[in-house]
Amino acid sequence: MKIATWNVNSVRVREARLLAFLAREQPDVLCLQELKVMDDDFPQEAIRAAGYEAATFGQKTYNGVGILAKAGAKMENVARSFADGDDDPQARVIAADILGVRVVSIYVPNGGEVGSDKWTYKQTWLKRLSAWISAHVDLHAKVAICGDLNIAPEARDVAKPDRWKNSVLFHPDLTAAFHGLIGLGLVDTARMHHESEGPFTWWDYRMLAFPKGDGLRIDHILASRALASGCTEARVDRDERKGAQPSDHAPVIAVFNSGP
């Protein structure tokens, strides 16, 4: 079973690249972030024609998350937002059962600047995420928490750690939050297969960050132990960051000897 996650930074602008990615990688599941569309404007027909079903949780202009699954792989128990009564106006979490795996697509707030209201919102949101997983996700079963966590957990997740130290992406409070998630019973699948620096998943559009190699690993696939024990591969599709009109994030891909 191949699971991927990708912050596309506007599904409308990235539609051609998204379809090409599906054709190229043929993941069983693809978690998406930053759709930036209402559900009615999501390109359902094109996705269906590519052989995928989509569950989306969109909003106008900002945020928006989704899960694609190969047609024939039923998506069940779709949940949007953390729980009934969630008053967060920002669409940042969607979950579904697919092929025996609870798949969660999340888009953690960026945080603006350290100390700002957005930073507080990010911290609060991460606490809610942890509480929601504890209360509503069975981590003894097969679970994949996928998405743009906007956290580079360690120095080896940052190409230029001195430059990013104490920023909203690489900060001791975030390292603690990330380890808190891991402590619930999750495994950072990329680190099962890569001990050295990277693989990076995001490069700023500005400052020639990509050609200069100024990357961070902020997109993750966290798996419960029951799923992670069968993780045979984890990688980043770095080439997707190249060429015309790329997203600033590259897709993350993990393969498990589970399901098909």
Partner DNA sequence: ATGGCTGCTTTGAGCAGA
Binding site for DNA (CB under 7 A): 7, 9-10, 12-13, 34, 36, 60-62, 109-110, 112-113, 118, 148, 150, 168-169, 202, 204-207, 216, 218, 245, 248-249
C-alpha 85/C-alpha 61 separation (Å) is 23
205 is catalytic: no
The nearer residue to DNA, 204 or 239, going by C-beta atoms, is 204
The nearer residue to DNA, 172 or 243, going by C-beta atoms, is 243
Sign of CA dihedral 23, 26, 28, 33: negative
To DNA, the closest distance from the beta carbon of 174 in angstroms equals 11
148 is catalytic: yes
The nearer residue to DNA, 204 or 233, going by C-beta atoms, is 204
Residue type, 83: A
To DNA, the closest distance from the beta carbon of 209 in angstroms equals 9
C-alpha 174/C-alpha 157 separation (Å) is 13
Q: What is the CA radius of gyration of the chain?
A: 17
The nearer residue to DNA, 113 or 138, going by C-beta atoms, is 113
Farthest-apart Cα atoms in the chain, separation = 47
H-helix or E-strand spanning residue 234: strand 231-236
C-alpha 135/C-alpha 36 separation (Å) is 29
Sign of CA dihedral 50, 52, 53, 56: negative
To DNA, the closest distance from the beta carbon of 22 in angstroms equals 19
Q: Of the listed 87, 97, 117, 148, which one is catalytic?
A: 148
To DNA, the closest distance from the beta carbon of 118 in angstroms equals 5
Q: What are the distances in angstroms from CA 247 to CA 18, 117, 118, 147, 153?
A: 10, 26, 23, 14, 22
User: How wide is the angle at C-alpha 2 spanned by C-alphas 194 and 74, nearest 5°?
Assistant: 150
To DNA, the closest distance from the beta carbon of 151 in angstroms equals 10
Structure tokens at 45: 């027909």
Q: Of the listed 28, 84, 97, 107, which one is catalytic?
A: 107
The nearer residue to DNA, 26 or 62, going by C-beta atoms, is 62
Structure tokens at 1: 């079973």
To DNA, the closest distance from the beta carbon of 256 in angstroms equals 26
The nearer residue to DNA, 140 or 212, going by C-beta atoms, is 212
Q: Residue 254 — left, alpha, or beta (φ > 0 → left; ψ -120 to 50 → alpha)?
A: beta
Place of tokens 């079963």: 141
Catalytic positions, please? 107, 148
